[in-house]
Amino acid sequence: MRAIVKLMIPVVVLSAVAAKASATLIGPDPAADVVLNTSYLQFSDSPFASVDFSSGFFYLENFETADATTFITTPGVSADHGGPVSVVFGPSIHDSVDADDGVIDGSGLNGESWFYSPGSSGVTFTFDPLVLGALPTYAGLVWTDGAGTIGFEAFDENGISLGTLTGNHADGSFNGETAEDRFYGAINAGGISANSPVEF
Ligand SMILES: [Ca+2]
Ligand SMILES: [Ca+2]
Ligand SMILES: [Ca+2]
Ligand SMILES: [Ca+2]
């Protein structure tokens, strides 16, 4: 029984530089190309933190400046469901990336995040190459709260799936805890048109 089914996504990273030829999926799933099953508490925990994006573009969307008129400040990104938690839900149960509220203290209650319920419907973030100049070749997000099995899927430049990852790291609590937070992402030389987290 799910007390609350929701999906919190406080960071979307997208960037474009030359990527290796075959697609790489990154996440807590043991079947991922790169298994990353540790808590994401700040950007330095990202597998993209050490990549040089200076020849392309790089955006880190943390939703902290989101408001009722500007849900996403990064250009060329749209979502089919949900919105900033303070706008579409209210002042309670925020669950941001830990560092977004200024202090790594095991809580994301004072940060902003993307919210959609029910998470079982998923949220798809789509990238517009005309606005960005190109599709991102690296794209990722951080799941911060919800329940049940978490799924992530990324799509190539033609909208063809690059694969699906799953995770089971929800802690069963909805009070901003951050140890459960995990990164999911994809790298694809031809570009990434969308990525999509969902709860099953
Ligand atoms: Ca945030
Ligand atoms: Ca914090
Ligand atoms: Ca959390
Ligand atoms: Ca939780």
Q: Give the rounded distance of the alpha carbon of 197 from its chain centre.
A: 8
* b/e burial code for range 12-36 (CB count within 10 A of at least 16 → b): bbbbbbebeeebbbbbbbeebbeeb
Find the distance separating the first CA and the last CA of the chain, reported in whole Å. 13
CA distance 112 to 127: 21
**CA dihedral (78, 43, 179, 105) positive or negative:** negative
Whole-number Å distance, alpha carbon 176 to ligand 3 midpoint, is: 5
* pTM above threshold 0.85: yes
Q: What is the pLDDT of residues 19-75, one digit of tens each?
A: 555 899 999 999 999 999 999 999 999 999 999 998 899 999 999 998 899 999 999
Ligand 3 (single-atom ion) residues, CB below 5 Å: 95, 144-145, 180-181
Reference 97, options 4, 187, 3, 12; nearest CA is 12
Whole-number Å distance, alpha carbon 22 to ligand 1 midpoint, is: 31
Q: What is the pLDDT of residues 76-133, one digit of tens each?
A: 999 999 999 999 999 988 999 999 999 999 999 999 999 998 888 889 999 999 999 9
Of the pLDDT bands very low, low, confident and very high (cuts 50, 70, 90), residue 18 is low
Whole-number Å distance, alpha carbon 150 to ligand 2 midpoint, is: 23
The label of the residue with tokens 């979307």 reads 12
Whole-number Å distance, alpha carbon 86 to ligand 1 midpoint, is: 11
Whole-number Å distance, alpha carbon 62 to ligand 1 midpoint, is: 4
Residue ranges in 8-83 assigned as alpha helix (H): none
Q: What is the pLDDT of residue 120?
A: 85
Residue 66 sits at φ, ψ, to 5 deg, of: -65, 145
Q: What is the pLDDT of residues 22-31, one digit of tens each?
A: 899 999 999 9
Q: What is the pLDDT of residue 198?
A: 81
**CA dihedral (88, 89, 91, 93) positive or negative:** negative
For 176, the 3-state DSSP assignment is coil
- pLDDT value at 5 more than 60: no
Whole-number Å distance, alpha carbon 49 to ligand 2 midpoint, is: 19
